[in-house]
Amino acid sequence: MKILIIVFSLSIIGFSNCYSQTLNTKKLDSLFNTLQNRELANGSVAISINGKILYQKAIGFAMLDSNNRKIFPDINTEKYRVGSTSKMFTATIVFQLIDEKKLSLDTKLAAYFPQLPNANKITIEEMLYHRSGLHDYTHDTNFPDWMDKPKTHEEMLKIIASKGNDFEPGTKADYCNTNYLLLSYIIEKITSMSYAEALTQRITSKIGLQHTYFGKPIDIRRDEATSYKYADSSWKKEKETDVSIHCGAGSVVSTPKDLTVFIQNIFNGKLISSANIDSMTTMIDDYGMGIFSYDFDSTKGYGHNGRIEEFYSATRYYPEKKLAVSYITNGILYPRIDILKGILKICFNDDYEIPFSKPVAIDFQKYIGTYSSNDLPFKVVCKKENDELIFEAAGKTMEAEPVSTNYFMNLKTGSFFDFNPKKGELQIKETDNAYYLQKEK
């Protein structure tokens, strides 16, 4: 990484002429150049088709130094914590052990941790599907107070045991980090090696992931980004997690390029058998085993999202197109969901309006009104004032500038307002949160 005073130059690498008809790199450039020039996003993206990396960019900053100068990311080597995207790695290793007959989907948790609630009922399959009923160790445990401190496996097991179970195994799905923490502990027991060693031996060295590994304290000398939260027009460094407490639930560090290679190799059969790929991608209550469904229109897609601190990752694979996309950010201002939507629309050659690409004529009457939601304790009033769109909510007032058709933002607060006038709907987006409101009649 280099400390630069000038705007970081965005790069495209790995472009192959034989794929030039399938990827609109100029439009992708327009999207990321816009976000870069307006300082609306930090992070990196990689896109591959048929296993070939066709497009990479890095925008924003990876870290602020002691003088608040921006350290810009290296497009090839900048590494980010990927949070729950780690669960895809853990599920892959579990399926490898199933292929090797060292484990089965019917194996009970009691075979490894009989002291845990319902251990004699909970199966490996239910843990992979988030159907175990175990309580999430990050909830109701004062987790923010100890997230930066190392804990032994025994300490983590005691925390899990003390919280009991939330529901009977198999009765429903509820996303829970505890499932994948325990699966990674089981991997360690079966392989007689640490999760970090299993990750290296079974995945990263096997398919040549040069920049993916078990996390450590963030170190600039390893080209590792730090995460930041945007508030009141500035970026504040986030508290750093001791990732060892998450093990296979959220400990992996990687790059977008490596993640695209990884998910491609899951689906091409180089990591697990075709039978277990089918098992992994069989959805129950919208959950797969270590993977989720992310269809684009009628095209089947799979992947996983992740968050740890203010790192957010998203990896997608569309088998029919052999298209893999990964985006990781170390600080959200422009909503991740909208960046990802833009990337995919461009990849699929759908209509997509680049933010700020043309003047927006505001038809105020389409937006003016009162909006409410059962999930919010206050109403949002949208009105016109001095030829500006104004929002009032919870005793606060903010103006909004147009981004594109029906889409507005307030840069100071990092709030984005996405209207659907025909349906009388309003989405308010802040970091990775989205609130859905309906216009009152």
Residue 200: DSSP 8-state: I
Each residue of 385-441: pLDDT tens digit? 999 999 999 899 999 999 999 999 999 999 999 999 999 999 999 988 999 999 998
The beta-strand segments (E) located in 98-215 are 213-214
- Look at residue 391 and tell me if it is in a domain: yes
What is the pLDDT, as a whole number, of residue 14? Answer: 38
CA gap 420, 439 in Å, rounded: 10
Give the closest residue to 223 by CA, choosing from 255, 201, 250. Answer: 255
Each residue of 272-287: pLDDT tens digit? 999 999 999 999 999 9
Average pLDDT over residues 318-340: 96
Q: With 70 as the cut, is the pLDDT of residue 7 above it?
A: no
- Look at residue 266 and tell me if it is in a domain: no
Q: With 80 as the cut, is the pLDDT of residue 326 above it?
A: yes
pLDDT band of residue 365 (cuts 50, 70, 90) is very high
What is the pLDDT, as a whole number, of residue 12? Answer: 37
Q: With 80 as the cut, is the pLDDT of residue 3 above it?
A: no
- Look at residue 308 and tell me if it is in a domain: no
**Could you tell me the CA-to-CA distances from 264 to 205, 206, 295, 321 in Å, in that order?**
15, 13, 16, 11
Tell me the percentage of the chain whose pLDDT exceeds 70.
95
- Look at residue 427 and tell me if it is in a domain: yes
Tell me the percentage of the chain whose pLDDT exceeds 90.
90
Residue type, 134: L
Each residue of 180-204: pLDDT tens digit? 999 999 999 999 999 999 999 999 9
List, in order, residues 6 or more apart from 66 with CB less than 8 Å away.
none
Element (H, E) at 391: strand 388-393
CA gap 288, 312 in Å, rounded: 20
- Is the backbone of residue 157 left (phi > 0), alpha (psi -120 to 50) or beta? alpha
CA gap 90, 316 in Å, rounded: 17
List, in order, residues 6 or more apart from 213 with CB less than 8 Å away.
196, 199, 200, 204, 252, 253, 254
Domain range for 374 is 364-439
pLDDT band of residue 75 (cuts 50, 70, 90) is confident
Tokens of 190: 């079966």
What is the pLDDT, as a whole number, of residue 233? Answer: 87
Average pLDDT over residues 121-127: 98
- Look at residue 390 and tell me if it is in a domain: yes
pLDDT band of residue 68 (cuts 50, 70, 90) is confident
- Look at residue 397 and tell me if it is in a domain: yes
Lowest-confidence region among 39-53, 62-76, 306-320 = 62-76
For position 376, which CATH number holds? 2.40.128
On average, the pLDDT of the chain sits at: 93
List, in order, residues 6 or more apart from 232 with CB less than 8 Å away.
412, 413
Domain count, the chain: 1
What is the pLDDT, as a whole number, of residue 11? Answer: 38
- Look at residue 133 and tell me if it is in a domain: no
Tokens of 409: 């933002």
Average pLDDT over residues 317-345: 97
What is the pLDDT, as a whole number, of residue 21? Answer: 46
pLDDT band of residue 86 (cuts 50, 70, 90) is very high
CA gap 428, 78 in Å, rounded: 31
What is the pLDDT, as a whole number, of residue 5? Answer: 32
DSSP H stretches of helix in 232-353: 256-267, 274-280, 336-347
CA gap 59, 330 in Å, rounded: 11
Q: With 70 as the cut, is the pLDDT of residue 268 above it?
A: yes
What is the pLDDT, as a whole number, of residue 232? Answer: 86
Q: With 90 as the cut, is the pLDDT of residue 92 above it?
A: yes
Each residue of 148-175: pLDDT tens digit? 999 999 999 999 999 999 999 999 999 9
With tokens 């078990």, the residue in question is 214
3-state helix, strand, coil in the chain (%, to 5): 30, 30, 45
Sequence length of the chain is 441
What is the pLDDT, as a whole number, of residue 19? Answer: 38
- Look at residue 126 and tell me if it is in a domain: no
pLDDT band of residue 10 (cuts 50, 70, 90) is very low
- Is the backbone of residue 35 left (phi > 0), alpha (psi -120 to 50) or beta? alpha
